[in-house]
């Protein structure tokens, strides 16, 4: 569009100059050829020339204005083109930067993916190793359990055999034997006294119970303050016993104040089943009944 207007303006200027040249040529020829023209005719011709010159000047002014306007439009067009070109270049540059950043991001992601693949491979290897170890441990546990079961059965068999032997021995020992001396007898030792004997835990665990011993042995003791080593004193049996630390039915049954016989512990157990769930488990402070025939 602009190019066409410029070509038209240029053509218009060329035409104006051609017209001026032709008019001047005609005027000069007319003056030279006809010198006999009148003054009035010359004035008329001069007026025509002035009008033509005025038209030419007007056309020249319009041409200049059109040229300036065209230049302004061309400059504006150029500015718009450059501006658009700058925006385009900016966008292109921005696109290039974004593409570079995207490529860097992709490269980082690829490296991360490679690292993750390595981690996954290591995790799979570790899981496989752990599974193998778990299988081995399971087999070892099964083997140990089997061996433990066999050992337990063997031990139970031995325990049953020993229990049977103990039972037989207890039955044999439980058979009444001729007693030369009565049960619940205490042999006096050096430095003993009725007070001290009564305070022994296998007697009454209470020194203030000494009169019981004295009353039961008056035929042997003339003076309660005078007893001698080797004397055999009858200990009146207790009806109750308060369990002390470290005691069990076997040791209690063997006390001179109880049965003076450890194998009689079953009597205590039978008489205290409401308090004793397991004959091997008694606790300090328990008050046990001591059955006496």
Q: What is the CATH number of the domain that holds 196?
A: 3.10.350.10
Residue 168 inside a domain? The answer is no
Nearest-angstrom CA–CA distance, 217 and 223: 11
Whether 46 has a pLDDT exceeding 60, the answer reads yes
Judge whether 240 lies within some domain.
yes
Residue 141 lies in a domain: no
- On whether residue 146 sits in a domain, the answer given is no
Residues near 243 by Cβ (< 8 Å), separated by ≥ 6? 252, 282, 283, 284, 285, 286, 287, 288
State which of 18-22, 76-80, 169-173, 202-206 shows the largest mean pLDDT: 202-206
Distance from C-alpha of 137 to C-alpha of 141, rounded to nearest angstrom: 6
**114 in a structural domain:** no
Counting the structural domains of the chain, the total is 2
Distance CA 132, CA 276 (A): 51
The last residue of one of the domains, among 67, 100, 133, is 100
Burial class for 259, CB neighbours closer than 10 Å (0-12, 13-18, 19+)? buried
pLDDT of 83-119, one tens digit each? Answer: 766 665 666 567 667 767 767 776 776 777 677 666 6
HSE on the CB side for 120, CA within 13 Å? 6
- The domain boundary residue, chosen from 100, 116, 137: 100
Q: Is residue 209 part of a domain?
A: yes
Q: Using 50, 70 and 90 to split pLDDT, how confident is the model at 257?
A: very high
Q: What is the dihedral of CA 209, 215, 219, 220, to 10 degrees?
A: 0
Q: Take residue 21 and report the two structure tokens written for it.
A: 């040249």
Among candidate residues 83, 100, 117, the one where a domain is terminated: 100
Tokens describing residue 272: 């205290």
Domain that holds residue 248: 185-289
Mean per-residue pLDDT, 259-274: 94
Calpha distance 17→130 (Å, rounded): 105
pTM for this prediction = 0.39
Residue 210 has pLDDT above 80, yes or no: yes
- Inside any domain, residue 120: no
Domain-located, residue 110: no
């Amino acid at each position: 569009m602009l190019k066409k207007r410029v070509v038209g303006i240029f053509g218009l200027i060329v035409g104006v100059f051609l017209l001026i040249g032709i008019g001047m040529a005609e005027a000069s020829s007319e003056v030279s050829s006809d010198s006999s023209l009148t003054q009035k005719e010359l004035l008329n011709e001069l007026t025509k020339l002035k009008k033509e010159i005025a038209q030419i000047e007007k056309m020249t002014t319009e041409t200049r204005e059109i040229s300036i306007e065209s230049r302004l439009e061309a400059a504006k067009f150029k500015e718009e083109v450059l501006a658009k070109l700058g925006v385009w270049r900016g966008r292109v540059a921005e696109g290039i930067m974004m593409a570079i950043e995207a490529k860097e991001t992709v490269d980082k992601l690829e490296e991360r993916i490679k690292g993750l693949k390595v981690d996954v491979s290591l995790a799979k290897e570790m899981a496989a190793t752990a599974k193998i170890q778990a299988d081995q441990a399971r087999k070892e546990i099964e083997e140990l359990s089997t061996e433990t079961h066999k050992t337990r059965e063997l031990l139970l068999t031995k325990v049953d055999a020993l229990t049977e032997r103990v039972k037989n021995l207890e039955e044999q020992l439980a058979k009444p034997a001729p007693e030369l001396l009565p049960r619940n007898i205490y042999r006096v030792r050096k430095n003993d006294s009725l007070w001290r004997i009564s305070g022994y835990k296998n007697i009454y665990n209470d020194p203030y119970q000494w009169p019981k011993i004295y009353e039961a042995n008056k035929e042997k003791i003339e003076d309660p303050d005078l007893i001698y080593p080797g004397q055999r004193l009858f200990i009146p049996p207790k009806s109750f016993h308060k369990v002390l630390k470290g005691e069990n039915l076997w040791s209690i049954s063997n006390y001179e104040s109880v049965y003076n016989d450890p194998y009689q512990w079953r009597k205590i157990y039978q008489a205290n089943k409401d308090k004793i769930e397991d004959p091997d488990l008694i606790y300090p402070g328990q008050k046990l009944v001591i059955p006496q025939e």
